[in-house]
Amino acid sequence: MAASLRRLALVPDPHPGESLLSWVDALAKRNRVGRMQALGLAAFVRPDASWYRPSVLFGTYLTAEAMARVQVTTGISAERQRRMTIMHYADGVLPAPPSSQHRQTVTAWLARLQLVLPARSRACPACLRENGGRWLLRWRLTWSFACVRHRVFLLGECRGCGKGLHQVLPGPGSSAVCGQYDWTDSGRACPRVISRMRPPRLHDEHLLECQRRLDALVDRPHRAGGLDTLRSLHLALEDIRISYDDAPSLPDTDAVLHRRWHGHRGALWYPDDPLLTAALIKIATVGGLRDSQDAYSQADMASWPADGFPPATTDDAPHVNRFGARCRAIACAAWVPPGQGRVVHAKGKPHVLCPAHVGHPTVLNIGPFVPAAP
């Protein structure tokens, strides 16, 4: 098969941290072809395939056969290709991948995680203007809700048609134009230029610091302790999403977050919305402690160092409640602020107990909070 493939003359180098779909668009731009033609030129399509249509999972993983073909045509090594896919984070800041990487298995794995946007991406328009339209892989993770450099919230949807950004399908998509089909307007593709869109400004210094530390974890995904920190934060966000009536109110922050929070109408599907993600993280990290700056600093940041990486701990060391969460004891709905209570592990996950139940871990109730595939 390699003998039937030819090396392309114009191959762009991957941008640091770039996603696979973004690199394919850069390849298409360099060779002055469309995205679908670029997929064929780079041999993501088998030479003997008469028809090809990428699935919504394109960019999540690549088979060994596909990576070998692309290495022949582009010179990009298989390891470098993998670093542009979601599997780069697997067994790091994301749990270990499934042993089988069939499409249905990977789809179910991503659905259980609820942390990845496989078919779309968030974006910072200013970054796209500066780097020539290269989309970062970490923008596909729920943990990316803002750009620290430009002090803006990321965009989660087109400011024109309202559809998700940088999707594989449908539409003639590219890294520059939305391109999603508007079926209410005779199927016309949205012509909005993404880099010209204006995202909401971010003034909340606490959220900027949270995003900086999350970026430090995600950009070095296999550093020890990162998965535990993000897993604890994810459980805290799920606590608020599932039982937001019992959680603290949104602390003082940017007006755009308050408008979004009070307008959610109970629909807290935050992976689709960076503003809801930011609001939930604000509640989880300072909820209940906003009246005391000293307590806020000590409880919220003590176990989350400035470099983003938690300190090494032993099995005998007490586990710190880094983020606010609801007590997991049976019949207890008490909100446990960051730094208080105790964390116990059950079924491989950290669960918070309030001070009243710290000495009684046997009352732990984790049934309703274990995510299940839809």
pLDDT number for residue 104: 79
Looking at residue 368, the DSSP 8-state letter turns out to be G
Q: What is the reported pTM?
A: 0.85
Name the band, by pLDDT with cuts 50, 70 and 90, for residue 70.
Answer: very high
Q: Using CA of residue 126, residue 131, residue 134, residue 136, what is the dihedral sign?
A: negative
Structure tokens, 46: 């088998």
CA distance 135 to 164: 14
Average pLDDT over every residue of 169-186:
68
Question: Is residue 369 scored above 70 in pLDDT?
Answer: no
**Bridge pairing between strands 181-182 and 152-153:** unpaired
Counting residues of the chain whose pLDDT is more than 70, the rounded percentage is 81
Helices (H) and strands (E) in the chain, counts: 11, 8
Give residue for tokens 């308050």: 258
What span, in angstroms and rounded, lies between the C-alpha atoms of 40 and 44? 6
The two beta strands, 335-336 and 325-326, are antiparallel
Helix axes 205-219, 226-242, angle to 10 degrees: 130
pLDDT of residue 335: 83
| Stretch 360-374: mean pLDDT | 52
pLDDT digits over 303-343, tens only?
Answer: 566 565 655 554 544 466 778 778 888 878 788 888 788 88
How does pLDDT run across 77-90, given as a tens digit for each residue? 999 999 999 999 99
Determine contact, residues 309/217, Cβ cutoff 8 Å.
yes
Is pLDDT at 219 greater than 80 in this prediction?
yes
Least confident of 40-49, 118-127, 153-162: 40-49
Top-ranked range on mean pLDDT: pick from 74-83, 89-98, 339-348, 355-364: 74-83
pLDDT score at 247: 75
**What pLDDT does 148 receive?**
96
What is 233-295 written as a DSSP string?
A: HHHHHHHHHHSTTTSPPPPS--HHHHHHHHTSTT---GGG-HHHHHHHHHHHHHTT-TT-HHH
Angle at which helix 274-286 crosses helix 205-219, to 10 degrees, equals 100
